[in-house]
Amino acid sequence: MEGNKLMKVMSVHADRETANSQIGFIGFGEVVYHTLAGLSKEGIRGMRVYSRSAKDPARSLLQQKRAGEVGAELAVSLEELVRSSRVIISSVKGDVSLEVAAEAARYLSPGQIFADLNNAIPSVKRRSAEIINACGAGFADVCLLELPIQVGSKALMYVSGDSAERFKNIMDCYNMNIQVIPGEAGIAASIKALVNIYQKGVQSVYLEFAACAHKAGIDIRLLEPLLVKPLVNLPREKDMAFWLIRGALLAKRKAGEMKEVLKMVEELGIHPIMLEATIQRLAWVARFEMNKYFEADMELDKYTEIIDKIFEISRDIELEVR
Ligand SMILES: NC(=O)c1ccc[n+]([C@@H]2O[C@H](COP(=O)([O-])OP(=O)(O)OC[C@H]3O[C@@H](n4cnc5c(N)ncnc54)[C@H](OP(=O)(O)O)[C@@H]3O)[C@@H](O)[C@H]2O)c1
């Protein structure tokens, strides 16, 4: 066997052995509790958790009870958790993730892996990776794409960064659902942020929509079947291509139509926050006149050509893509 192949096999083997030693979680909120509950159902116990509120007299009993339920051990300090774990998974909050990574770095050694599954922006994940790498440890940028409260330890995670493969090898021993995305730390975080733009956008549209329906005296439940599957004969994952093509090619007309709808929403007394944004985005794309280059019945799989064209034209007509 070639030298580097042999090294790789040995490293995977070492990682599988690591799986029998310590995995430590920082934070003991919804994600960690339900992930550990899922693992516990499969008979995997003995994971370690650092919860800063375990020291709080008002909360420590509850924390111990929850740890007992999922068969986890509570570490006495962050230092103790980090020093005793081969893989440390930070599951706190996006806005404190950098500070938690910096504190953990004080106790990390080469060979350990620090995995950050917080919803932090890519630049923060890259900065965390630099801090972790500076002490010789590996970094895994993890993004959580399904809810542990629904699917326990089987929640889909994408992972990028220098230690993504090693992290997957170790966590695969626990039958977790991890997919490596090639590239540096920050790539997984970018994917999560993009998914969030979509999901939070849809949530906000639903909220504005529900308020309008209520004011218009329409039972919103009547609209459920129209929204869930608006496209006939098309698999759900093709929705984006279909709407992106129509949005880009018919933008001018759609923006005009929505200006009329905006008047209706104003008459209802609802501030059309999402609707105004819709009109702005359609008017923006209309300026690129994509209908000069593509037909509305173009092949769905070619929809990315529209985006490439917009960026190409933006240089020629000095219209910034923003
Ligand atoms: N919930 C989900 O399904 C989901 C999905 C995708 C991504 N995420 C991400 O996963 C992470 C965890 O989410 P969660 O829902 O489990 O949050 P959560 O229920 O609010 O729990 C957060 C945990 O972090 C601890 N914590 C907060 N600040 C800390 C600090 N400075 N040092 C140490 N511990 C700290 C909290 O401790 P205290 O209780 O003492 O405050 C708590 O144990 C977040 O970054 C979230 O964005 C969650």
Residue 1: pLDDT band (50, 70, 90) is very low
Residue to mutate (ligand 1; options 81, 91, 97, 143; most atoms within 8 A of CB): 91
Q: What pLDDT, on the 0 to 100 scale, is given for residue 319? A: 64
Which runs of consecutive H residues, i.e. helices, occur in the chain? 3-18, 30-41, 57-69, 78-84, 97-105, 122-134, 148-151, 164-172, 187-215, 224-228, 239-249, 251-268, 273-286, 304-316
Residue 229: pLDDT band (50, 70, 90) is low
The pLDDT tens digits for 291-305 are: 999 998 999 999 999
Q: Is 143 exposed, middle or buried (0-12, 13-18, 19+ CB in 10 A)?
A: buried
Closest residue by CA, ligand 1 atom 40: 53
Ligand 1 centroid–CA 165 distance in Å is 24
Give mean pLDDT, residues 280-301: 94
Residue to mutate (ligand 1; options 26, 30, 70, 107; most atoms within 8 A of CB): 30
Is 50 strand, coil or helix? strand
What is the percentage of the chain residues whose pLDDT exceeds 90? Answer: 80
80-89, 186-195, 218-227: range with lowest mean pLDDT: 218-227
Q: Is 183 left (phi over 0), alpha (psi -120 to 50) or beta?
A: left
Q: Is pLDDT of 54 > 90? A: no
Q: What pLDDT, on the 0 to 100 scale, is given for residue 9? A: 40
Ligand 1 centroid–CA 144 distance in Å is 12
Kindly give the number of the ligand 1 atom that is closest to the alpha carbon of 103: 32
The alpha-carbon radius of gyration of the chain (Å, integer) is 24
Ligand 1 centroid–CA 13 distance in Å is 32
Closest residue by CA, ligand 1 atom 39: 53
Ligand 1 centroid–CA 147 distance in Å is 13
- Return d(Cα 211, Cα 98) in angstroms, integer: 38
Ligand 1 centroid–CA 24 distance in Å is 15
Ligand 1 centroid–CA 157 distance in Å is 16
In degrees, rounded to 5, the angle at the alpha carbon of residue 243 between the alpha carbons of residues 242 and 249 is 95
Q: What pLDDT, on the 0 to 100 scale, is given for residue 18? A: 45
Residues contacting ligand 1 via CB (< 6 Å): 27-31, 51-53, 91-94, 96, 100, 117-119, 144, 147-149
Residues 6+ apart with CB under 8 A from 70: 33, 36, 37, 39, 40, 45
Q: 48-86 burial string, b = 16+ CB within 10 Å, else e?
A: bbbbeebeeeeeeeebeebbeebebebbeebeebbbebb
Kindly give the number of the ligand 1 atom that is closest to the alpha carbon of 32: 16
Q: What pLDDT, on the 0 to 100 scale, is given for residue 321? A: 65
Cα 287 versus chain centre, distance? 32
Closest residue by CA, ligand 1 atom 17: 29
* Residue 74 DSSP one-character state: E
The pLDDT tens digits for 185-213 are: 999 999 999 999 999 999 999 999 999 99
Tokens 């404190």 — which residue? 96
Give mean pLDDT, residues 301-312: 95
DSSP states along 241-300: HHHHHHHHHTHHHHHHHHHHHHHHHHHHT---HHHHHHHHHHHHHHTT-GGGT--TT--G
Residue to mutate (ligand 1; options 35, 36, 50, 92; most atoms within 8 A of CB): 92
Give mean pLDDT, residues 136-160: 97
* Residue 29 DSSP one-character state: S
Residue to mutate (ligand 1; options 93, 124, 125; most atoms within 8 A of CB): 93
Closest residue by CA, ligand 1 atom 26: 92
What's the chain's average pLDDT?
Answer: 91
The pLDDT tens digits for 269-278 are: 999 999 999 9
Q: Is 185 exposed, middle or buried (0-12, 13-18, 19+ CB in 10 A)?
A: buried
- The two tokens of residue 259 are 């200006």
Kindly give the number of the ligand 1 atom that is closest to the alpha carbon of 99: 31
